[in-house]
Chain A
């Protein structure tokens, strides 16, 4: 499967724990985007990264959330000290450049208990 791979598919965390969501882009893609889909809401843009660079993080909450896309390995979305309101589906997408169509992964469904 050469598509965007996200893991884990489902993640359960207790309030106050850290959540780490991983995304491996499609082969040949170096641009990664993270979106969040809250219950009853549309997908909302969070952050856009290229290898080792954050290009646009205008959709990221100011606290507890961070993202990286290292030179080697997957992109990571990290949520520290999770709260119930962080429960959502988090989707990663990738493209070959910032202006072409992006392909989405299957998502990570985070549940905070």
Chain B
């Protein structure tokens, strides 16, 4: 059973476009993290969201945690080729268990110049 569903699975856009990727679950998470992974590398943490409804911004990236803490979205404004990568969401099911993350399969984003 895949607890975290990410959509779309693949996304190819032109430089300068905006995009949103989604991370959905029927389960509640105490926190949710977004990572970016490049080919041959490990995941790099972008942000952690903890509170339902929370919105965090990281330059051109905006992360939102759903009110019920079951879903999250990542919005990128004016995408650049350097944004290309696999975007992973990962949730911790209970406080004190942030080490035991449940990962989605990711959205593979390609930004074409």
Q: State the A residues within 8 Å of B (CB).
A: 4, 6, 31, 33, 35, 40-45, 48, 56, 58-59, 91, 93, 95, 98-107, 109
Tell me the smallest distance from the CB of A97 to a CB of chain B, in Å: 9
Interface string of B1-29 (1 = CB under 8 A from A): 01010000000000000000000000000
Among A56, A101, A104, which residue has its beta carbon within 8 angstroms of that of B100?
Answer: A56
Q: Is B41's CB under 8 angstroms from A107's CB?
A: yes
> Chain B: how many interface residues by the 8 Å CB criterion?
25
Chain B facing A: main interface SS: loop
Residue on B with the closest CB to A55? B99
Query: Using Cβ atoms and an 8 Å threshold, which residues of chain B touch A48?
Result: 99-100
Interface-facing stretch out of B43-51, B58-66, B67-75, B76-84: B43-51
Q: Is A91's CB under 8 angstroms from B43's CB?
A: yes
Residue on B with the closest CB to A44? B103
